[in-house]
């Protein structure tokens, strides 16, 4: 119907004006104009597949790009042949659905249309989620840039999943997703898991975007990975929207931190810690102010340590035990400590955290990086308890991180050992 074309055209004109005001290109981007030398890059046919409509962002060539605003809504007059063809396609979509696949080129996790711009326009207008497409991948040259490393990691992910929809913004995250789901990027993933991952992603995406997720500098994939670091994939298909929504609210600060990595500061000295707030990037992150609590022998501060091993087998755990003993010497009966050793599986770790909660511990040290997912989950669910996790170069709002400069001690030990030998052998 031409009336629907007029509505679509108004949406296009609105987007056109909005982009002009912002100084942005108002038409569909053209891949051949955006990427120099794209015609010389290798092309790989991926065959026929459903692709997310919101990942179709432009045209392969300049061709018809000026007929559409950047949101794929039309700009051509209502009395044109173009408008008549668009309206006929709309009628076909309403009556029986658009069946003919479009032809697209995939480049760096985005799709550019070669044939079927009007079909994409109509499907966007009616709010479709995906489109059937013949896909040709254009493989860019590998470089050492973060974008290139992320994309080539995605290519490994694609080989084992054949999935287009999960996009990350930094390298290492496809490997992290694989580890969470107990998979790798070498062997094909089970079909049942892929179906569950697809359903979970769709459910998460809908709720996350409905709660304003598009305002953050994160892909939906980035946000999903944070969710899966705390909650299970099964929860996305088993739990209701309200439960998932409440969990997203608990993770709000985690998303805020992840979306602004430049606001994370590594404090390496007491001088840094005492720097005025305005000079420390980390001070820009809002931290809830909790009421101060006075501790006494009658009401001691309870501190717990969770270890993967025990002090008899691990010098690392033994070192933490010495630190714990120093706490007792320094604070006496004002501080009570407890330890959980040999927490190497989910059941043992869960029992340790259950005991910590029951015994009203207020500070917890988790001393192995394998404990981080469980510590993060507990910290998100129980923000009143402070978790200090031993690791470096990490960023979570719910966790605090610490790490000793072990290389300094190791250097001194090595120098001391060398000084005691006279044959250059330690």
131, 147: one domain: no
- Position of tokens 């794929």? 72
146, 241: one domain: yes
Q: Among 284, 311, 339, which residue terminates a domain?
A: 284
Domain count, the chain: 3
CATH number for the domain spanning 389: value is 3.40.50.2300
Q: Are 7 and 83 in contact (CB under 8 A)?
A: no
107, 160: one domain: no
149, 257: one domain: yes
pLDDT band at 51 (very low <50, low <70, confident <90, very high): very high
Mean pLDDT of the chain: 88
pLDDT band at 352 (very low <50, low <70, confident <90, very high): very high
In a domain? residue 66: yes
55, 114: one domain: yes
311, 397: one domain: yes
Residue 343 has pLDDT above 60, yes or no: yes
Structural domain range at position 16: 1-141
Between residues 221 and 256, the one the model is more confident about: 221
Average confidence (pLDDT) over 223-231: 93
**Taking CA 204 as the corner, what is the angle to CA 203 and CA 209, rounded to the nearest 5 degrees?**
110
Q: What is the pLDDT of residue 308?
A: 94
94, 151: one domain: no
149, 130: one domain: no
| pLDDT tens-place string over residues 150-165 | 999 999 999 999 999 9
Q: What is the pLDDT of residue 277?
A: 41
The long-range contacts involving 239-242, CB below 8 angstroms and separated by at least 24 positions, are 241/207
Q: What is the pTM of this model?
A: 0.78
203, 88: one domain: no
In a domain? residue 346: yes
Q: What is the pLDDT of residue 141?
A: 95
171, 135: one domain: no
Q: What is the pLDDT of residue 263?
A: 56
In a domain? residue 27: yes
Q: Among 250, 284, 318, which residue terminates a domain?
A: 284
CATH number for the domain spanning 99: value is 3.90.1530.10
Residue 97 has pLDDT above 60, yes or no: yes
> Using CA atoms, how far apart are residues 379 and 344, in angstroms rounded to an integer?
19
Residue 7 backbone dihedrals phi, psi, to 5 degrees:
-65, -40
Residue 280 has pLDDT above 70, yes or no: no
Average confidence (pLDDT) over 136-148: 95
Tell me the two tokens of residue 408. 């300094």
13, 59: one domain: yes
């Amino acid at each position: 119907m031409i009336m629907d074309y007029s509505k679509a055209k108004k949406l296009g004109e609105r987007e056109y004006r909005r982009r002009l005001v912002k100084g942005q290109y108002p038409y569909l981007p053209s891949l051949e104009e955006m990427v120099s030398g794209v015609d010389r890059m290798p092309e790989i046919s991926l065959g026929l597949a459903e692709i997310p409509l919101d990942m179709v962002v432009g045209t392969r060539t300049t061709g018809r790009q000026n007929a559409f605003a950047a949101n794929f809504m039309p700009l051509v007059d209502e009395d044109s042949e173009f408008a008549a063809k668009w309206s006929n396609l709309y009628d076909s979509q309403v009556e029986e659905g658009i069946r003919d696949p479009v032809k697209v080129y995939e480049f760096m996790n985005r799709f550019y249309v070669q044939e079927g711009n009007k079909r994409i326009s109509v499907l966007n207008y009616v709010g479709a989620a995906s489109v059937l497409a013949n896909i040709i991948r254009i493989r860019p040259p590998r470089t050492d840039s973060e974008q290139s490393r992320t994309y080539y990691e995605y290519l490994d992910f694609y080989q084992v999943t054949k999935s287009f929809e999960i996009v990350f913004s930094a390298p290492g995250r496809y490997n992290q997703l694989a580890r969470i789901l107990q998979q790798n990027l070498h062997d094909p993933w089970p079909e049942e898991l892929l179906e569950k991952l697809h359903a979970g992603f769709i459910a998460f995406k809908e709720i996350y975007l409905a709660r304003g997720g598009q305002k953050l500098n994160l892909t939906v994939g980035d946000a999903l990975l944070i969710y899966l670091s705390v909650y299970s994939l099964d929860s996305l298909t088993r739990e209701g929207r309200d439960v998932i929504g409440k969990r997203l609210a608990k993770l709000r600060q985690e998303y805020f931190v992840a979306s602004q990595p430049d606001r994370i500061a590594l404090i390496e000295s007491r001088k840094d810690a005492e720097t005025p707030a305005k000079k420390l990037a980390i001070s820009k992150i809002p931290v809830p102010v909790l009421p101060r609590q006075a501790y006494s022998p009658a009401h001691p501060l309870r501190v717990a340590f969770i270890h993967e091993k025990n002090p008899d087998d691990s010098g690392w755990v033994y070192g933490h035990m010495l630190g714990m003993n120093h706490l007792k010497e320094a604070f006496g009966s004002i501080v009570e400590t407890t330890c959980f050793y040999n927490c190497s599986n989910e059941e043992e770790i869960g029992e340790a955290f259950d005991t910590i909660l029951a015994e009203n511990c207020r500070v917890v040290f988790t001393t192995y990086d394998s404990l981080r997912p469980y510590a993060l989950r507990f910290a998100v669910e129980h923000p009143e308890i402070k978790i200090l996790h031993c690791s470096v170069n990490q960023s979570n709002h719910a966790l605090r991180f610490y790490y000793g400069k072990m290389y300094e001690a190791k250097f001194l030990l090595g120098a001391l050992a060398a000084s005691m030998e006279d044959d250059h052998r330690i």
